């Protein structure tokens, strides 16, 4: 079952059900976005969830009374009324316990009662610890609910509130919003057809290296030419490959503000030349190379041994001679035909220009996959979202991803897994 793509183009009466998971803190943003988009939102929290977000917040945001129990309200028929009036019900986070209750038809509070009495579409957004999510009971509950027509949004793979890493994280509110609006997101893109188990089978023990961060090209001992890349996306990709069981090496340029996942082998390569050398050394023993680093195209022809001093007056100028850095990705593609390569291209301009630059770069670089990112565009609301168009070496579009970097990274890694498996077979 799917919501029609134009379902939310008219104002709707939406019930947002919140069950007791720590991720409940994200839902006020979703409620606000739905209201901003013109919908009337009624929040039904479970009693437990009020430990995470209180009644007053929901009442203030939705402008509607907030009740948790069936008999809390003067009108004791309220549960049926809410269910009858609702045009869409969204449950986020949906805990393992709530899923079990919905499956077995329990009606022990206002939320479960409303769900049981509802005839409108119901979207479930599960969020829980990976072990609970992967438990056969939860998986069976989800399967049964799916068969009964509930619409289920997959949880994200990422860091959990427990500090563990795995599948079960509540998607960002922007992604839930996009999911409801049927916009392309990481969760409903073509690559979702690759289940985690399959990607894990394909990548277990496979050696993957990822270049990440922005290179610094030294002018003198204290100054450099650099760029604004933080390396966050590269690190998310490293995490995703690790989750799928790959042996990951991060070849990082100046990764200072990012959390490197424990167990990741890191080679620090501050400059393009050092990164080039590290890649050339590691590529022969690797099966997959992801080139997420922002590599300076040029470096100073000479690095001064001492700090460069001002010598003249106001009109003094300084000219730096720059020479070209090696193209690490293109060199790897040429020298190591066994390697599956993934390049990135951040392009500016309108959608058509970006597509054109992307196609040209895909052909020029020859990587198996090129992820083209239109820089400066926002999707959904709130956080800046990443939009990636994935091209093959001929410049043909394979798929599109949108969402947070943490959400896209596992999708991209899963797609690389299928390309790897296909190349291995051929």
Near ligand CTP by CB under 6 A: residue from 72, 87, 192, 327: 327
CB of 144 to ligand CTP, least distance (A): 44
Judged by CB under 6 A, which stretch of 114-122, 258-266, 341-349, 379-387 contacts ligand CTP? 341-349
Nearer to ligand CTP, 211 or 379 (CB): 211
How would DSSP label each residue in 315-341?
A: T------EEEPP-HHHHHHHH-TTSEE
CB of 371 to ligand CTP, least distance (A): 8
Nearer to ligand CTP, 155 or 231 (CB): 231
Nearer to ligand CTP, 15 or 272 (CB): 272
How would DSSP label each residue in 38-84?
A: T-EEEEEE-TGGGGTS-HHHHHHHHSS----STTSSS-TTHHHHHHH
Residue nearest to ligand CTP (CB): 328
- The neighbouring-strand residues paired with 324 are 298
Q: Going along 46-160, which residue ranges are E strands?
A: 88-94, 122-126, 151-152, 156-159
- Please choose, from the candidates 356, 299, 291, the residue with its C-alpha nearest in 3D space to the C-alpha of residue 326: 299
Q: Is 341 one of the binding residues for ligand CTP (CB under 6 A)?
A: no
Mark whether 227 is an active-site residue. yes
Nearer to ligand CTP, 269 or 325 (CB): 325
For residues 207 and 288, the answer to whether their CB atoms sit within 8 Å is yes
Q: Is 271 one of the binding residues for ligand CTP (CB under 6 A)?
A: no
Catalytic residue selected from 227, 254, 268, 373: 227
Angle between helix axes 136-147 and 96-104 (nearest 10 degrees) is: 50
Ramachandran quadrant class, 160 (left: phi over 0; alpha: psi -120 to 50; beta: rest): beta
CB of 326 to ligand CTP, least distance (A): 6
Q: Is 344 one of the binding residues for ligand CTP (CB under 6 A)?
A: yes
Tell me which residues in 280-299 interact with ligand CTP (CB under 6 A): 291, 293, 295, 297
Judged by CB under 6 A, which stretch of 86-94, 103-111, 165-173, 327-335 contacts ligand CTP? 327-335
Residue 46 phi/psi, 5-degree rounding, is -85, 160
Count of residues in contact with ligand CTP, rule CB under 6 A:
13
Q: Going along 131-260, which residue ranges are E strands?
A: 151-152, 156-159, 165-169, 207-213, 217-218, 224-225, 247-253
Nearer to ligand CTP, 116 or 393 (CB): 393
Q: Which residues are catalytic?
A: 227
| Residues at the interface with ligand CTP (CB under 6 A) | 211, 272, 291, 293, 295, 297, 325, 327-329, 343-345
């Amino acid at each position: 079952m799917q919501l029609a793509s134009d379902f939310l183009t008219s104002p709707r009466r939406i019930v947002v059900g919140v069950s007791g998971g720590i991720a409940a803190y994200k839902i006020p943003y979703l409620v606000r976005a739905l209201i901003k988009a013109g919908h009337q939102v009624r929040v039904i929290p479970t009693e437990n969830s009020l430990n995470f977000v209180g009644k007053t917040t929901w009442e203030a945001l939705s402008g509607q009374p907030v009740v948790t129990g069936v008999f809390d309200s003067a009108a004791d028929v309220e549960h049926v009324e809410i269910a009858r009036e609702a045009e869409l019900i969204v449950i986020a986070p949906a805990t393992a316990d709530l899923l079990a209750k919905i499956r077995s038809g329990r009606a022990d509070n206002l939320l479960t009662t409303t769900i049981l009495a509802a005839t409108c579409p119901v979207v479930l957004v599960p969020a829980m610890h990976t072990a609970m999510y992967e438990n056969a009971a939860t998986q069976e509950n989800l399967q049964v609910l799916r068969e009964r027509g509930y619409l289920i949004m997959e949880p994200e793979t990422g860091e959990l509130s427990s500090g563990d890493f795995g599948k079960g994280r509540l998607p960002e509110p922007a992604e839930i919003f996009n999911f409801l609006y049927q916009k392309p997101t990481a969760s409903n893109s073509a690559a979702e057809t690759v289940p985690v188990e399959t990607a894990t089978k394909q990548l277990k023990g496979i050696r993957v290296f990822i270049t990440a961060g922005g290179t610094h090209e030294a002018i003198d001992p204290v100054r450099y030419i650099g760029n604004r890349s933080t390396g966050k996306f590269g690190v998310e990709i490293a995490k995703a490959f690790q989750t799928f069981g790959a042996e990951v090496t991060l070849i990082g340029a100046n990764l200072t503000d990012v959390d490197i996942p424990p167990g990741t082998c890191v080679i620090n390569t501050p400059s393009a030349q050092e990164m080039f050398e590290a890649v050339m050394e590691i590529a022969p023993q690797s099966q997959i190379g992801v080139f997420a680093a922002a590599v300076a195209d040029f470096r100073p022809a000479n690095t001064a041994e001492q700090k460069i001093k001002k010598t003249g007056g106001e009109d003094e100028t300084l000219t730096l001679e720059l020479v070209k850095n090696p193209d690490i990705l293109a060199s790897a593609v040429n020298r190591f035909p066994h390697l599956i390569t993934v390049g990135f291209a951040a392009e500016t301009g309108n959608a058509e220009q970006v597509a054109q630059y992307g196609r040209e770069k895909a052909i020029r670089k020859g990587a198996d996959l090129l992820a083209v990112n239109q820089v400066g565009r926002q999707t959904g609301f709130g956080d800046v979202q990443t939009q990636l168009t994935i091209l093959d070496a001929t410049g043909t579009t394979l798929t599109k991803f949108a969402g947070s970097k943490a959400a896209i990274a596992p999708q991209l890694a899963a797609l690389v897994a299928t390309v790897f498996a296909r190349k291995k077979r051929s």
